[in-house]
């Protein structure tokens, strides 16, 4: 079994930018793993055998873990603990066997060039995530690009979602002798994307207009055809669902996808799967998710779209296991609630909202057998009555919330 793994961060300036400790580790190494670009940054004073990572990378790391080969060295870009291989190595090998020697990250360098404080700047990685996850409604971020196409893709997304005025700065080969900086707006970059972008680049974005709102969004923040959980009910529904960082929601009968999107906005790593039988609404959910920069997997009607998913040690076959399920439509469909409960792991939360007598009866029946919490909400809004104002009631909503034993 490998004795020790040393992960050394290196910048675009190569060996010249390394600390003595980092350079010393590489010079004493017998085997060094890295990408071709990173390995080419090493000079002739490094005599180790150089092994380029295959694709996919994870099986190669697992093979290193299981082979008796003494110390292994890995060279990585910048700070390996910032969306880099350092975290993966620690998970695979354990913290007692991994030493990480970081370099200055591209995020820190970009912030230094722009005069931004790092703690006030979001970091978004598109190395593995979809480009739309870097769309924001305000603030600023350094976006780690996947390749030379990432700036143009991001600029087009920002423009298409009403963020074309965003300040858009592309840094290439940060910290190296070929460093280049180009600043414009997202709209201008999208209209005429340069064809000579270096694959090693990051994008710094100040999102404009700034429309950030951290609580539940107004209804007009979503495209919908009337099938939307209204803002006030969205607030109490999210409170009942109680999202936690890294959890996944199944939004069943998703309509506009507002609950799924609010769930994803609520904390880091929160994701959702939206089940909706209407094709036009499915397209609308995807558009709404893109506009808000969140990760929502859109599927067909439940429970058919569950696809026979079955719980196993790895979660749910075919569809990632939910931490919580929200049922906003289709409650009277035979077997729907039972199918949702079946896929929900022990300790998972289920919340269902009903507005019809028939749907309410389904919730009452399950409440009588499983317990949980049953609530009814009645909301009023002020409307003109001649020259005066009166209260007009919205349809009452019955909500059942339960934790699966």
What long-range pairs does 368-371 form, CB within 8 A, spacing at least 24?
Answer: 370/402, 371/402
- The pairing of beta strand 248-252 with beta strand 271-275: parallel
Angle CA 237–130–284, to nearest 5: 50
CA distance linking residue 99 with residue 315, whole number of Å: 32
**Bridge partners for 254 per DSSP:** none
* Domains of the chain in sequence order: 4-104 (3.40.1010.10), 107-206 (3.30.950.10), 219-403 (3.40.50.150)
Q: Which helix (H) or strand (E) holds 59?
A: helix 58-66
- The tens place of each residue's pLDDT in the chain, 405 residues long, gives 567 899 999 999 999 999 999 999 999 999 999 999 999 999 999 999 999 999 888 888 888 877 766 788 999 999 999 999 999 999 999 999 999 999 999 999 999 999 999 999 999 999 989 999 999 999 999 999 999 999 999 999 999 999 999 999 999 999 999 999 999 999 999 999 999 999 999 999 999 999 999 889 999 999 999 889 999 999 999 999 999 999 999 999 999 999 999 999 999 999 999 999 999 999 999 999 999 999 899 999 999 888 644 444 444 455 778 999 999 999 999 999 999 999 999 999 999 999 999 999 999 999 999 999 999 999 999 999 999 999 999 999 999 999 999
- The number of angstroms, rounded, from the C-alpha of 377 to the middle of its chain's C-alpha atoms is 32
What long-range pairs does 280-285 form, CB within 8 A, spacing at least 24?
Answer: 280/225, 281/225, 281/227, 281/254, 281/255, 281/256, 284/223, 284/224, 284/225, 284/256, 284/257, 285/254, 285/255, 285/256, 285/257, 285/260
* Cα dihedral sign, 193-198-202-204: negative
Burial group, residue 213, by CB count within 10 angstroms (0-12, 13-18, 19+):
exposed
């Amino acid at each position: 079994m490998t004795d020790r793994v040393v992960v050394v961060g290196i910048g675009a300036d190569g060996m010249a930018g390394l600390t003595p400790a980092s350079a010393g580790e590489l010079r004493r190494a017998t085997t060094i793993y890295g990408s071709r670009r990173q390995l080419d940054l090493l000079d002739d004073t490094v005599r180790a055998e150089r092994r380029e990572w295959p694709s996919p990378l994870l099986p190669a790391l697992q093979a290193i873990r299981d082979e008796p080969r003494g110390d292994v060295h890995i060279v990585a870009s910048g700070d390996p603990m910032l969306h880099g291989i350092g975290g993966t190595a620690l998970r695979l090998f354990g913290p007692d066997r991994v030493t990480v020697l970081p370099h200055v990250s591209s995020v820190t360098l970009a912030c230094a060039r722009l005069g931004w404080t790092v703690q006030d700047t979001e970091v978004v990685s598109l190395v593995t995530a979809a480009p739309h996850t870097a769309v924001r409604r305000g603030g600023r971020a350094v976006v780690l690009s996947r390749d030379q196409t990432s700036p143009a893709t991001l600029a087009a997304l920002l423009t298409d979602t009403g963020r074309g005025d965003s300040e858009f700065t592309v840094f290439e080969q940060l910290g190296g002798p070929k460093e280049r900086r180009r600043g414009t707006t997202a709209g201008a970059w999208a209209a005429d994307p340069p064809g000579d972008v270096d694959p090693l680049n990051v994008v710094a974005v100040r999102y404009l207009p700034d429309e950030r709102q951290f609580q539940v969004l107004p209804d007009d923040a979503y495209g919908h055809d009337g099938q939307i959980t209204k803002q006030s009910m969205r607030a109490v529904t999210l409170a009942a669902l109680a999202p936690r960082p890294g959890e996944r929601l199944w939004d069943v009968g998703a309509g506009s996808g507002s609950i799924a999107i609010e769930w994803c906005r609520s904390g880091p790593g929160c994701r959702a799967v939206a089940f909706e039988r209407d094709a036009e609404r499915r397209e609308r959910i995807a558009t709404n998710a893109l506009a808000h920069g969140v990760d929502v997997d859109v599927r067909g009607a439940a429970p058919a779209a569950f696809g026979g998913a079955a719980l196993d040690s790895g979660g749910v076959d075919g569809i990632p296991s939910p931490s919580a399920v929200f049922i906003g439509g289709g409650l009277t469909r035979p077997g729907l609630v039972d199918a949702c409960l079946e896929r929900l792991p022990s300790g998972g939360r289920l919340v269902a909202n009903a507005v019809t007598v028939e749907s309410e009866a389904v919730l009452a029946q399950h409440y009588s057998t499983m317990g949980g919490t049953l609530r009814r909400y009645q909301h009023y809004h002020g409307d003109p009555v001649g020259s005066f104002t009166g209260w007009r009631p919205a349809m009452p909503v019955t909500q059942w919330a339960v934790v699966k034993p």
